[in-house]
Amino acid sequence: MITVVGLGTSSKDDLSNKAIKCLEEATHLVTTASWHQVWSELTTCKAEIWDNWPLEERLSALKNYADNLVLAVAGDPKLDEFYLQDIPGLVVIGASSRIHSLDLPKEWQYVSKDKIKGKTEKSLLSRIYPGVWPQVKRNLPKDLVVLYEDQGRVGQGKVDDLELTDGYILIKSNLPERPIDTLLKVMQRLRAPEGCPWDKIQTFTSLKPYLVEEAYELWDAIDSGVTDLMVEELGDVLLQVVFHSEIASEEGLFDFEEVALSIAKKLVHRHPHVFGDVKADTPEKVLVNWDALKKEEKGKEDRLSILDGVPKYLPGLSKANKVQKKAAKVGFDWSEIDPVWDKVTEELQELKDAQGAHKEEELGDLLFAIVNLARFLHIDPEVAINKTIAKFQRRFRYIEKQAPKPLEEMTLEEMDVYWEEAKKEE
């Protein structure tokens, strides 16, 4: 049998005679509040300390305990330790709740740590169990002032300045809305019947080109090194995720929360070396584990070829690179670079010799061989070709700027003079 005794909020005077007797006569006494002042008055009591145990460990230990146990908790067991509701057959001896240590307003709302978000008309009260404060802290504005009760201490302070272990926080002012919630509401408004005519008619299919376009604009922003531009373009990419999620939500398929939770679960599953006990101390070992775990995931069990899963509409150079990397993982690859150079030379000669329609095929073979060479040189072919395109654009614009007459009226030799000038200025 398990008996849970509430220690109240202050001294031994808070306890009933029944509670004191239970504590003093316990053969196995456990407490999650060794910091409580009542222990300085009950000097004969010797308790096993569970103060820093996460809820999962506490629940597991209590559910598997067979002998008589007395669990002493701060405050009142029913009001302050909600997880105990999952343990059947408990004998509970109540006391004053820790909630009353705080200056509660007339209207307040209890919320779990995962629900502290968005604006509210009522003040928010949330229980802080051991180990959860860092997570709660990340979801709150750093300069938000909260009231708190932590291991019997009561006070107030800015979120960023507080390190809480076991207690409550009370947010009296309206909690500022998280930016992601604001974005979701804006999208809902745009898609509403009285919203934007253009946004209302968009579909998964109609938005596909914009997703690709925004990804490439982000690429450009990263290359520019301009932080403000990166922020803007990352926002545009995020908008595409929110847009698709809102359309799916309207059709009852899924919503943004499911998308976020899905990627979080995937990351945990594919990083057992971080969230589990698997060892992977090099990037190469991580990738081996990653590929093996991908095959186990739902929806990917029917992939028969190692080449399955390459996006159909990936740009050609990137697609070739990805296919080659997949084949190389099972040993279908050269062990050194010399044969790769030879293959490029061979394909170039075959292109020179090709006639008619075969030229297209041979050009494709040459490009494929060059991508393979790029892989051996540890160069991303898409990055390389885009840098070359950018270089060409810079030099051509120099010609346009310096030319004394319209380009249409200049010879190639005349334009080439300015081209060489542009090269020297780089």
The secondary structure of 306-371 as a DSSP string is TTTT--TTS-HHHHHHHHHHHHHTTT-S-SSSHHHHHHHHHHHHHHHH--TTHHHHHHHHHHHHHH
- At 295, is the pLDDT very low, low, confident or very high (cuts 50, 70, 90)? low
Q: What is the pLDDT of residue 330?
A: 86
CATH number for 2-97 (one of 3.40.720.10, 2.40.50.100, 1.10.1040.10, 3.40.1010.10): it is 3.40.1010.10
- At 173, is the pLDDT very low, low, confident or very high (cuts 50, 70, 90)? low
Q: What is the pLDDT of residue 270?
A: 86
How do strand 153-158 and strand 2-6 relate by DSSP bridges? unpaired
Cα distances (Å, whole numbers) of residue 260 to 99, 265, 291? 33, 9, 22
Distance of CA 112 to the CA centre of its chain: 20
CA distance 364 to 386: 19
Whether the per-residue pLDDT at 87 is higher than 90: the answer is no
- Residue (of 173, 122, 121) closest to 147 by Cα position: 173
Task: State the chain's mean pLDDT as an integer.
Answer: 89
How do strand 153-158 and strand 167-171 relate by DSSP bridges? unpaired
Q: What single-letter amino acid sits at 279?
A: K
Task: Please provide the CATH number assigned to the domain covering 179-270.
Answer: 1.10.287.1080
* Class in CATH terms, 303-379: mainly alpha
Q: What is the pLDDT of residue 1?
A: 85
Fold classification of 102-171 (topology level) = 3.30.950
| Residues 356-369, mean pLDDT to the nearest whole number | 94
- Both tokens of 297, joined, read 């995931």
pTM of the model: 0.52
User: Edge-to-edge, what's the strand order for the sheet holding 91-93?
Assistant: 48-49, 29-31, 69-73, 2-6, 91-93
CA distance 337 to 325: 15
DSSP annotation of 143 = T
